[in-house]
Structure 1
Amino acid sequence: MVKLYALNVLYKGEPSVVWLKSTYNLQTFSYFQRTSVQEFMALVSKTIVDRTIAPSRQSVKEGEYVCHVYVRADNLAGVVISDNEYPPRVAHTLLTKVLDDFASSVPSTTWPTAIEANIPFNDLNAYLSRYQNPREADAMTKIQEELDETKIILHNTIEAVLQRGEKLDDLVSKSEGLSLQSRAFYKTARKTNSCCSYVG
């Protein structure tokens, strides 16, 4: 069973978050849902990076999904979306490794204005595949119990990460990254509390 659904690299810029690189494994969703699910995962990733203070780590649970986020001191950020059985320690080790590799191969001067298609970093698919089995990944990377000085903050819902009074429904209605089809899909998923329960 797939444990990891998304692996994204972003830059927490001012005034907005910049998308750098992403990969998804959405085979467990129906073909017709994949585009909408991917758009929601992108929206959630961008929102949580925007609401995470650098440097820090968070794991945000929502239904059967967890969004693991690491924003470094240089504002380079990574997001892994997993099922809720995937060990946060392994997810954050993956984020550390990916961001270190990304930073060493893509100059930081390009991050604030980068366009995803132009970034020469094609390792995300390999990472997503290699880390699907957390036991193998754990053994392979010889993970230490303590990742670093930074604690992982665990939130039980995405609402806990949003600003006071802010609602996910409002973000969805304002988002330019969601198609009309995805907004309709979101509303249906909210009503039925189905496969997109992680977004609200």
Structure 2
Amino acid sequence: MKKKVEQIIKLLAITFPEVKCHLEFNSPFELIVSTVLAAQCTDERVNMTMVPLYKSIYRSPYDIIKLGEEKLRENIRSINFFNNKTKSVYALSKKLVEEYNGNVPETMEELTQLAGVGRKSASVILGNCYGKKDVIIVDTHFKRVVNRLGIIDESDAVKIEIGIDRIVPKKEQFDFSMRIGELGRNICKARKPLCAECVLNKVCDSAFKFD
């Protein structure tokens, strides 16, 4: 397994040397809000809705609080589950203002205490904003790909994270999860994976088994 994982890491690094977050952001605040809004919604829709708002009225959590919850609800109506997400974004903004002077905390423990922020969202912030390398982003693409590869046999996100932590070096974990996510978006798709185009098809347990 160790050799297989090493090979996967190497091949992914060659194929996806630089992988960027699909959510557009200019600060940890913008990314944490967009990450909460992106649950069960496309990154494209979140970007389309939020980028203009970040540039105009929502530059910090203070602005969210000042303009109010109802205004936020109106502004994000185009996003799935906007009612619940409005409550989460307003609550997390309030906590950032009251407990962190408007700053986004830099630890998993503190981030996961914020409304709407789970381990996946926290890992997105820690890796993309604070340069943490030992975080694993277990999203739907990641779950699918690692199971198909045969390096994990789990459906539970926490168990997947624990399993990956055991086999992928800590210094590689963030880049590994970003690259696996990119592979899942573009090649190892849910319904019709493009196995012939996949750089990992020689080390994948599921390659060419979907026809």
With normalisation by structure 1, the TM-score equals 0.29
- Greater length-normalized contact order (CA 8 Å, ≥ 6 residues apart): 1
Higher strand share: 1
With normalisation by structure 2, the TM-score equals 0.28
**Larger radius of gyration between Structure 1 and Structure 2:** 2
